[in-house]
Amino acid sequence: MKKILGILLLVSLFSSLPALAVRIEISAPGEQTIPLALTRFLPMGGSATDSATKVDEVLIADLDLSGLFELADRAAFLSDAEELGLHSTKVDFGQWRLLGVDAVVKGGYHIDGEKLVVEARLYDVVSQRLLTGRRYVGKVGDERRIAHSFADQIMLALTGKMGPFNTRLAYISTRSGHKELYLMEVDGQNPLRLTDHRSIVLDPDFSPVRKEIIYTSYKKSNPDLYRKEIYTGSEARFSQRPGLNTGGRYRSDGGELVVTLSKGNNSDIYLLGTDGTIHKRLTTHWGIDVSPSWSPDGDKIAFVSDRRGNPQIFVVDINSLKVERLTFEGKYNATPDWSPTGEWIAFTRRTEGQFDIFLIRPDGSGEHRLTFAPGTKEHPRFSPDGRFLVYSLDLKREKSIHVMRIDGTGDRRLSAPGGNDTHPAWSGYWQ
Amino acid sequence: MQLKAVFKMTVLLALATLLTVGCAKKPKTDESSQVAQTEMQQQQVAEVSEQPVTETGSSSSSAQDSMNKVVSSLMRVGFEYDQYVLTAEAREALKNNAIYLKAKGVRVQIEGHCDERGSDEYNLALGENRALTVKSYLVSLGVPADRLSIISYGEEIPLVMANTEEAWAQNRRAEFKELN
């Protein structure tokens, strides 16, 4: 991290003005794209394997999803694409300038038994300097993770903000015959089932500080809150009050949780310690109060309440407990998710016989609809960089996990066909 | 079926049979016409919210099924969309259930269910409110509260797996499970 910042600093200090133009002030997709050449990674000694293809596929998919780049046509590449070029002095920048690209990605790999080494470089074509360089040492089979990680570095180098590709998605799937908790990569690869409750598991959320997921399960015949360490598999039930123990969401520092508890009587929003003890009751109303979501500063909670007759989004200040209504349009607004940038709150609204995803600013302005295609969209959740939304799409016969940019473009399906996959949650940065 | 049931001759059974068949005994006739009226009203409401005509046939036949079972089991109770108040029809069913519960002295769990539309977590709360409303009404009819527990399954366990108004109507319900 420090290294990269150092590189960035060097770039900004010593590069000429046109070079600065590469480190563009793009933070939102669609505004302007960076012309980028992505070369295939080459073997560094030894024979060629399919490692290059795996790295290539992931980099192309990630950079495409980002919406920030315009990838140059490989058919137009000249001889430098066949050179390793792991140092800026070994790159023929003139060839790349001819193609009109601002930046070029080069890389190599070496396999020694099970060991895999990948070298990856991002160069600024105009200033002819290294923007970011990484050396990855792992095992054969780690290609995808390495590529996701370098895609994040490319985004950091060119936009100043890390990409979210080397993270994970948790979701609920019925593929085993029951609703169980699953984990997959952000492009839908390598799905892994984490629970075997053979009951009903719902609504996961990642700890921002540990490799841990919380969720609700009916394993012990009541909707209780559980936590599970992802790698050890160790699981504990930590809120089992009568009635609903649902909607658990970690504060961004992991120090506290917001949850829905009904205590067998009426659903309200509470703050819990990570040990499950109640720290504070945030709402006291006879109506339904559910689906809490933290503001990034941790001082406010967006939630759903029917206190005005039908489900609408409200915001409660956790210090003053003052409640303000956020949504006024529509008769059914639900599942708010506060962007980690603080800029938006995503939610679902019942439109013409289906639910669609909307964004609204926390002050109630700027409300707009993101999805228009057929099918009900549910459970929108932001990526840790706030650039993307993951959600579940219900097309009657099948439910699947989708991802899109927060301007509604770039929509694509992530989960494999043939399942009912819902309730996605995006992890924080994974390392 | 009806004949067989009549032979059993419990008070409960008589009541149930009368409700279904609509026999011409005085106080009960009123009740059955009451039931019929609420069904009519519901049809009207239903048409406004674009329920297909098949809704009418199937809901009345499923109501009949429930009526037949009343001697041996508890009746399922239906709800309107995004509502947890009891309809007149639901109240009638619960009156039967209260008689059964008081006679048998069993402990039951009341399950609140929703149709699939709407958010999962909101539906969990809605289902809980449905179960609670049912419990309160049964308690008001004299069923001891300590024999009634509640749980909400939200939209998780639909009765009918379909995306039709008819299926949704059947899925918005409270059910009873006897506990040992």
Task: Select from B122, B152, B163 the Cβ nearest to the Cβ of A291.
Answer: B122
pLDDT per residue over A31-41, tens digit each?
A: 689 999 999 99
For B106-121, what is each residue's pLDDT tens digit?
999 999 999 998 899 9
Measured between beta carbons, which residues in chain A are less than 8 angstroms from residue B121? 202-203, 246-247, 260, 290-291, 304, 335
Flag whether residue A423 sits within 8 Å of chain B, measured between CB atoms: yes
Q: Is the pLDDT of residue A99 over 90?
A: yes
Question: Model confidence over A328-376: pLDDT tens digits?
Answer: 999 999 999 999 999 999 999 999 889 999 999 999 999 999 999 999 9
Q: How far is CA A245 from the centre of its chain?
A: 25
Report the residue from A222, A288, A335 with minimal CB separation from B126.
A288
- What is the least distance, in Å, from the CA of B56 to any CA of chain A? 22
Report the alpha-carbon distance of residue B104 to residue A300 in Å, rounded.
Answer: 50
- Give the pLDDT score at A10: 37
The stretch A184-191 carries a mean pLDDT of 94
pLDDT tens digits for A297-330? 999 999 999 999 999 999 999 999 999 999 999 9
pLDDT class of A21 with cuts at 50, 70, 90:
very low
- State how far residue B92 is from chain A, nearest Cα, in angstroms: 24
In chain B, positions 53-112, which contact chain A (CB-CB < 8 Å)?
Answer: 82
Of A202, A223, A290, the CB nearest to B122: A290
Q: What is the ipTM of this complex?
A: 0.87
Sign of the four-CA dihedral B19, B21, B25, B26:
positive
Distance CA B66, CA A62 (A): 55
Residue A170 — φ and ψ, nearest 5°? -100, 150
Residue linked to tokens 């069913």 = B93
In 3D space, the residue among A271, A377, A265, A389 whose CA is nearest the CA of residue A339 turns out to be A389
Write a three-state SS string for A90-133.
HCCHHHHHHCCCCEEEEEEEEEECCEEEEEEEEEECCCCEEEEE
The structural domains of chain A, ordered by start, are 2-159 (3.40.50.10070), 168-426 (2.120.10.30)
The Cα of A6 is separated from the nearest Cα of chain B by a number of Å equal to: 46
Residues A221, B151: C-beta atoms closer than 8 Å: yes
What does pTM read for this prediction?
Answer: 0.83
Query: Cα distance from A362 to chain B (closest Cα, Å)?
Result: 21
Give me the pLDDT at residue B131, please. Answer: 97
* pLDDT in the model for residue B63: 40
Contacts of A290 in chain B (CB under 8 A): 119, 121-122, 124-125
Q: What is the pLDDT at residue B12?
A: 44
Spatial separation of the C-alpha atoms in residues A148 and A154, rounded to whole Å: 10
Q: Which chain B residue is nearest to residue A305, measuring alpha carbons?
A: B122
Residues near A91 by Cβ (< 8 Å), separated by ≥ 6? A80, A83, A85, A104, A106, A123, A128
What the block records as the tokens of A93 is 């920048």
Q: Residues of B with CB below 8 A from A350's CB? A: 117-118
Residue A40, CA atoms < 13 Å, CB-side half-sphere: 17
Q: Is the pLDDT of residue A177 over 50?
A: yes
**Could you say which of A202, A221, A306 has the minimum Cβ distance to residue B120?**
A202
Mean pLDDT of chain A: 92
Q: What percent of chain A has pLDDT over 70?
A: 93
Element (H, E) at B45: helix B26-48
Tens of pLDDT, residue by residue over A382-409, are: 999 999 999 999 998 899 999 999 999 9
What is the model's pLDDT at position B122? 96
CB A415 within 8 A of CB A185: no
Residues of chain B scoring pLDDT < 50? 1-71
For chain A, say whether B122 makes contact (Cβ under 8 Å): yes
The edge-to-edge listing of strands for the beta sheet with A388-394 is: A376-382, A388-394, A399-405, A412-413
Q: Which residue of B has its CA nearest to A201?
A: B156
Q: Which residue of A has its CA nearest to B153?
A: A223
Q: Looking at domain B2-179, what is its CATH homologous superfamily?
A: OmpA-like domain (3.30.1330.60)
Per-residue pLDDT, B60: 39
Q: Which residues of A touch B152 (CB under 8 A)?
A: 223, 243-244
A126-136: average pLDDT: 96
Q: Label residue A28 by pLDDT band (50, 70, 90).
A: low
CB-CB contact of A30 with A407 (8 Å): yes
